[in-house]
Amino acid sequence: MKILVVEDELSLQKMVKDSLEREHFVVECASDFPSAMLKINDYDYDCILLDIMLPGGSGLSILEELKRMRKRESVIIISAKDSLEDKVLGLDLGADDYLAKPFHLAELNARVKSLLRRKQAGGDTSIVLGNLAVYPDLRTASIGGKELQLNRKEFDLLYYFASNPNRLMNKTSLAESVWGDNIDQADSLDFIYSQVKNLRKKMKQAGATPEIKAVYGFGYKLVLED
């Protein structure tokens, strides 16, 4: 999967690029309007991460050009401009999602993966692992076709695990996936431990074939049992 990051803040551009490359994406970057348009004219991408405020032009103009060229790239706007008008205009011009700065890299990665899964599946956002099915649009999950009763935090954790199967994650990354910028609202990371413990218990009782395993001293990962 090939991603274009259009961002003029070089430190953020590098962080996003490094984070996506760790997820095994091929990543190219552009720092201004002209260089972004050159890449878009010459290459096809699976997803474009697009800032609105760019040297030499606007990200919204890039969206208009993508529409005019009938390009099929998925687009996530990442911008410090968080007004309702900008969001509506960006989505009307063809953007698929909108993420306001500042954001956590874990959330950006999850949104990119979700968008690409939806694109590949023709609009279906569900995640199926063994007998576990997660439906992010409905915020529900099932084991063997039977709904799994989860609270909001438990669902958010399960969705994050299911989006990153076989990936070892520590408590901090799990906390960021649930609280995002409001992570300081958590009394301690011990709350994550209790939520994961409850989620593991519910999955086991329901007979889930995927299992959240604890890796002592490091964190947790979701694995699919043979």
Q: Are strands 2-6 and 47-50 parallel, antiparallel or unpaired?
A: parallel
Q: Give the count of beta carbons closer than 10 Å to the beta carbon of residue 171.
A: 18
The pLDDT value recorded for residue 123 is: 57
Rounded Cα–Cα distance for residues 220 and 173 (Å): 10
State the pLDDT at residue 208: 95
Q: How far apart are CA 62 and CA 47, in angstroms?
A: 13
Q: What is the pLDDT of residue 82?
A: 63
Q: Can you give the pLDDT of all 226 residues of the chain as single tens digits?
A: 789 999 999 999 999 999 999 888 889 999 999 999 999 998 889 899 999 989 999 999 999 999 888 888 889 999 887 667 777 888 888 888 888 888 888 889 888 988 887 776 655 667 889 999 998 778 899 999 999 999 988 998 898 898 888 888 888 778 766 665 445 544 556 778 888 999 999 999 999 999 999 988 888 999 987 5
DSSP states of 141-180 as a string?
A: EEETTEEP---HHHHHHHHHHHHSTT--B-HHHHHHHHHG
Q: What does pTM read for this prediction?
A: 0.58
Q: Are 40 and 67 in contact (CB under 8 A)?
A: no
Structure tokens at 219: 């964190």
What pLDDT is recorded for position 226?
Answer: 54
Domains of the chain in start order, with CATH, are: 2-120 (3.40.50.2300), 127-224 (1.10.10.10)
Helix (H) or strand (E) holding 64: helix 59-68
